[in-house]
Amino acid sequence: MRIVLAFSGGLDTSFCVPWLRERGHEVITVFVDTGGVTSAKRREIASRAKALGALRHYARPAEQAIWRQILVPLIRANAAYQQAYPLMCADRYVIAQECAEVARRERAKAIAHGSTGMGNDQVRFDIAIRALGDFDVVAPIRDFQQEVRTNLRQREIDYLAERGFSTPAAHRRYSINQNVFGVTISGSEIDRNAAPAEDAFVLTRPVHRAPAKSEQIRIGFEGGTPAMLFGSRADGIAILKHLNERVGRHGAGRFIYTGDCVIGIKGRIAFECPGLYACLVAHRALEDATLSKEQNQFKVQVAEKWAYLNYSGLFHDPLTRDLEAFLESHQRSVTGEVTLEVGRGVVLPVAIDSPNLLRDRSSVYAQSSAWEPAEAAAFVKLFGMSTVLANRRERGRG
């Protein structure tokens, strides 16, 4: 059978190529460039695929697809799974889309991925692949686990070594995923709930090595989407890449997160997303200043649901598109510029400029108002009436 394999060149997907070939399958590898990879690395991945025995290898650019399909609604929503994790795993849906296109071109009936049977990516890939067409789903690592119950990564390393293929030291120690969002690191001491080693991090300096002096960064938004940097129009991906370097230098955008996995266990990762983090901080400040109270309060529910759907493998559920349509309408007034003060691991929105600020110039919090003091007193009395009456009733019972 001809199988298209989503291929990153890491340990798991490297294992998949000979494992599938030894079972009589033709393997076509697809490297979907989700960002964070140099041209030299792309060439290395292509060479590794051929060396492992791939019939053909495809390299597909995907940064812009991820920006349009994932990052724009994510930033508009300020979405984070369990209020912590900014959906850095959502590039899997674009990877699945690109693999489905290659599978149709190659007349392949099956698409394979390198996910294990312990994690969330198997859910994302399996559901997405089936939603995209009538494809069989093949998961070699998950199948290998039927034979190997413990020390899975070491057994994969041994399997490749027996066939003459080495494994880079970094992949022996950690499972690393780098894309336009940033970098995700798991494995080794991170899985053991211990502090990650400093050399595990890629994009952010430790705070004690950050510049002593902070700096200001200006990000401009149009309709809730980053569109300008320091007053000049810029592509969204270019903004993220610039901010990754600039904000990461100050030690900001580094996180450690333990969350509830789709499959019912806890998962712990370290991740770095300095550029995305800066955009989210700036966007939230602009949103708070330009939207009504009811818009801001209701949007929290939409963001939570959108994050859940994307985290849980349900990117292709119609509700995801419904929520994104709401966000596009909801964000039409979120246009303007935010100045961030960045230094020593902190990103602080210090100034906001927008034609859509929701304010009455004659009313400033705790300073001046367009209403009479007696009107304020009457409002407060009526606003708290139910609470006051309920407490009086309870005191009477005592």
C-alpha to C-alpha distance for 375 and 373, rounded to whole angstroms? 5
Same domain? For 281 and 337 the reply is yes
CA distances from 122 to 96, 186, 282, 393 (A): 12, 16, 33, 55
Q: What is the pTM of this model?
A: 0.92
CA distance from start to end of the chain: 78
Domain-located, residue 300: no
Same domain? For 374 and 286 the reply is no
Same domain? For 110 and 155 the reply is yes
C-alpha to C-alpha distance for 251 and 244, rounded to whole angstroms? 10
CATH number, domain with residue 250: 3.90.1260.10
pLDDT at position 292: 97
**Contacts for 196 with CB less than 8 Å, ≥ 6 apart:** 185, 189, 190, 256, 270
pLDDT at position 171: 62
Q: Which helix (H) or strand (E) holds 205?
A: none
> Which tops the pLDDT comparison, 365 or 43?
43
C-alpha to C-alpha distance for 165 and 13, rounded to whole angstroms? 13
Which domain range does residue 382 map to? 360-398
Total of domains in the chain: 3
Query: What is the band of 338 on the pLDDT scale with cuts at 50, 70, 90?
Result: very high
Query: What is the band of 389 on the pLDDT scale with cuts at 50, 70, 90?
Result: very high
Q: Is 198 exposed, middle or buried (0-12, 13-18, 19+ CB in 10 A)?
A: exposed
Return the bridge partners of 185, or none: 176, 270
Degrees to nearest 5, angle at CA 179 with 209 and 45: 110
Q: Is the separation of the CB atoms in 125 and 6 below 8 Å?
A: yes
Query: What is the band of 190 on the pLDDT scale with cuts at 50, 70, 90?
Result: very high
Same domain? For 113 and 160 the reply is yes
**In the chain, % of residues over pLDDT 70:** 97
Mean pLDDT of 200-211: 95
Query: 188's torsion region: left (phi>0), alpha (psi -120 to 50) or beta?
Result: left
Q: Which of 173, 194, 214 is the last residue in one of the domains?
A: 173
pLDDT at position 362: 67
C-alpha to C-alpha distance for 20 and 26, rounded to whole angstroms? 8
Same domain? For 64 and 106 the reply is yes
β-pairing verdict for 215-222 and 336-343: antiparallel
Domain-located, residue 328: no
Mean pLDDT of 199-217: 95
**In the chain, % of residues over pLDDT 90:** 85
What's the token pair of residue 302? Answer: 């939409």
Residue of 317, 320, 316 lying closest to 92 (CA atoms) = 316
For 55-70, what is each residue's pLDDT tens digit?
A: 999 999 999 999 999 9
> Residue 147: how many CB atoms within 10 A of its CB?
7
Same domain? For 232 and 125 the reply is no
Q: Is 5 exposed, middle or buried (0-12, 13-18, 19+ CB in 10 A)?
A: buried
Domain-located, residue 316: no
CA distances from 337 to 230, 279, 280, 350 (A): 9, 11, 13, 11
C-alpha to C-alpha distance for 215 and 352, rounded to whole angstroms? 16
| SS3 state at 130 | helix
Domain-located, residue 299: no
Q: Output the average pLDDT for the chain.
A: 94
Domain-located, residue 326: no
Domain-located, residue 117: yes
For 92-130, what is each residue's pLDDT tens digit?
A: 999 999 999 999 999 999 999 999 998 899 999 999 999
Same domain? For 105 and 164 the reply is yes
pLDDT at position 170: 62
For 277-325, what is each residue's pLDDT tens digit?
A: 999 999 999 999 999 999 999 999 999 999 999 999 999 999 999 999 9
Same domain? For 27 and 150 the reply is yes
Degrees to nearest 5, angle at CA 381 with 376 and 382: 100
Same domain? For 149 and 210 the reply is no
Mean pLDDT of 208-234: 97
Phi, psi of 81 (to 5 degrees): -65, 130
Q: Which of 173, 207, 238 is the last residue in one of the domains?
A: 173
Query: What is the band of 366 on the pLDDT scale with cuts at 50, 70, 90?
Result: low
DSSP secondary structure letter of residue 182: -
pLDDT at position 368: 72
DSSP secondary structure letter of residue 158: H
Per-residue buried b or exposed e for 95-133, using 16+ beta carbons within 10 Å of the residue's own CB: bbbbbbbbbeebebebbbbbbbeebbbbbbbbbbbebbe
Domain-located, residue 379: yes
Same domain? For 207 and 141 the reply is no
Is the pLDDT reported for residue 360 higher than 90? no
pLDDT at position 398: 62
Same domain? For 261 and 281 the reply is yes
Q: Which of 151, 173, 195 is the last residue in one of the domains?
A: 173
For 140-160, what is each residue's pLDDT tens digit?
A: 999 999 888 778 889 999 999
CA atoms within 13 A on the CB side of 109: 3
Same domain? For 132 and 268 the reply is no
Mean pLDDT of 351-359: 94
Domain-located, residue 226: yes
Question: Residue type at 77?
Answer: A
pLDDT at position 301: 97
Per-residue buried b or exposed e for 22-48, using 16+ beta carbons within 10 Å of the residue's own CB: eeebbbbbbbbbbbbbeeeeeeebbeb
